[in-house]
Every structure is written in C-alpha cells, then in structure tokens.
Amino acid sequence: MSDRSCSTCSSYDDGECMNGIGNVTPNGVCNQHKTREEERKDGEALVRFRESIGLPPQMRYRD
C-alpha cells in the first residue's frame, strides 16, 4: 500500500476514503490543508474515475 499521508501535517485523512481510492492524489494533502484548487481537481478526478467504471458522477444517498 502506498503512503497517502498529508505532505503538510503527515496525518492520514480517510474521511472520504472508499477502500483507499477516495484519496485521489498519493502524498497529497488532507482535507484540512487542501486549497480550493486542489479540492476541485480531486473532485474532478473522482468524477472521471466513477464514470470510467460505470457509476454516476456523484453518490446518491437514500432518504
């Protein structure tokens, strides 16, 4: 398993992790240290990944 700790604070943020693939950028930054640009790019990458495996762009939660 690759190191996916925050390059700023060295913490491992798995709050949005889906079996390890939610953290789009290895050696990126945790959610607390992301810039808006990094957050946008991670979101776009996750949408592309979900579409590439046939899932809708965003998860939908049941009421």
Share of the chain above pLDDT 70, in %: 40
Residue 18, in any domain of the structure: yes
Higher pLDDT, 32 or 20: 32
Question: What residues make up the domain containing 18?
Answer: 1-55
Looking at residue 15, its pLDDT comes to 53
Residue 23, in any domain of the structure: yes
Model confidence at 38, pLDDT cuts 50, 70, 90, reads confident
Mean pLDDT of 21-41: 67
Domains: count for the chain: 1
Residue 46, in any domain of the structure: yes
pLDDT one-digit tens code per residue, 10-27: 555 555 544 444 444 555
Structure tokens at 8: 């700023």
Looking at residue 52, its pLDDT comes to 92
Across 6-47, the runs of DSSP E, i.e. the strands, are none
Give the helix/strand (H/E) hosting 37: helix 36-52
